[in-house]
Amino acid sequence: MAKLAVVALGGNALQRDYQKGTIEEQEQNTFDTLENLVFLLKDGYNLVITHGNGPQVGDILLKNDAGESSYNIPQMPLDICVAGTQGEIGYMIERILYNVLGKHGIAKNIISLICQVKVNHQGAAFINPSKRIGRMYPGDTAEKLSKTKGWIFKEEQKTSGGYRRVVPSPEPVEIMNTEIIRQLVEQGNIVITAGGGGIPVYMDENNDLRPVEAVIDKDIASALLAATISADEFYILTDVPYIFLNYKQTNQQIAEFLDYKDAVRYLEMGMFGEGNMKPKVEAALSFLKHGGSKSIITEAAKLADKRYGSKITMHYNAGDVRHTDNYGNA
């Protein structure tokens, strides 16, 4: 049976920080990223693609604000906004991937699935919401919105006098429709799903699905999906070619090979940034803990070059060149 890889595309796979986010820019970025996945298909892998949605859902929230204030158009809740980005980004990836595969003479069916993800809607993440979303507001506007809409705001530390809405980021418990995803993949189809971490939902006392005003971490949800459908490898694509120890410090080092135990130790030491590499390493470890064989964290443009990328496994494999860290450990 063909090996199965789940590839989580980071936000920069679609839109760079320095770009305006025009459709032309996003399409070119998507094409360039998807070109780097072709080698997996040529190597005989089945493929599931997940993706982020940060810039896109932020734009929708801005349009929400503008529509309500200027044209009295009711705002849509966060779950609807996430669902909307799943549709638009899934369509773009699906169409462009079709063209990429055609260029390489590969015939594959591609399908995008809107994905709901069950979460614990009363967990610790709801006590102190921390995930920043949407635009930045001045203090008086944030206070007004907090009173009228019940939104929670936190001050942006990187700016002066600005506040952004924060929502819970609960841990995913169950990816819905995984049996359908598994069947589609086993038949050789490419599936695009779990966009933006999935739409957070929960089961109420009547066993009905209800939405949650929250945002799920895309990499953590992707890891759960990968483990649930028994993927062999889990790829997290980001904007750096490796995991770095002591990142951007004078003693920075590449960690090309890590086993589970060392990766956990580095997490506990605070080696990885809270808002960037830490959740990616946590997602990689979650996949391994639930039966996966290998997680790879790397830059999209370096994916096909085996010299790049940090490979995390439960145990070091024969031939792995172990790095030496700055704490006297081999």
Write out the catalytic residue numbers. 11-12, 131, 218, 280
Would you say the C-alpha torsion 15, 19, 21, 27 has a positive or negative sign? negative
- The phi-psi region of residue 198 (left if phi > 0; otherwise alpha if psi is between -120 and 50; otherwise beta) is left
From residue 136, alpha-carbon distances to 64, 142, 154, 182 in Å are 14, 9, 10, 40
Assigned token pair, 26: 């996003």
Residues recorded for the chain:
330
Distance (Å, whole) CA 90 – CA 192: 6
Q: What angle do CA 78, 228, 221 make, to 5 degrees?
A: 30
Specify the residue for token string 């997602």: 283
**Beta strands in the chain, from DSSP E residues, in sequence order:** 4-9, 46-51, 110-112, 116-119, 131-138, 152-155, 162-167, 172-175, 190-192, 199-203, 209-211, 233-238, 243-245, 253-255, 257-259, 294-299, 310-313
Specify the residue for token string 């993927």: 231
Distance (Å, whole) CA 93 – CA 264: 34
Distance (Å, whole) CA 88 – CA 23: 11
Q: Residue 276 carries which DSSP code? A: T
Closest CA to 25 of 56, 60, 52, 67: 56
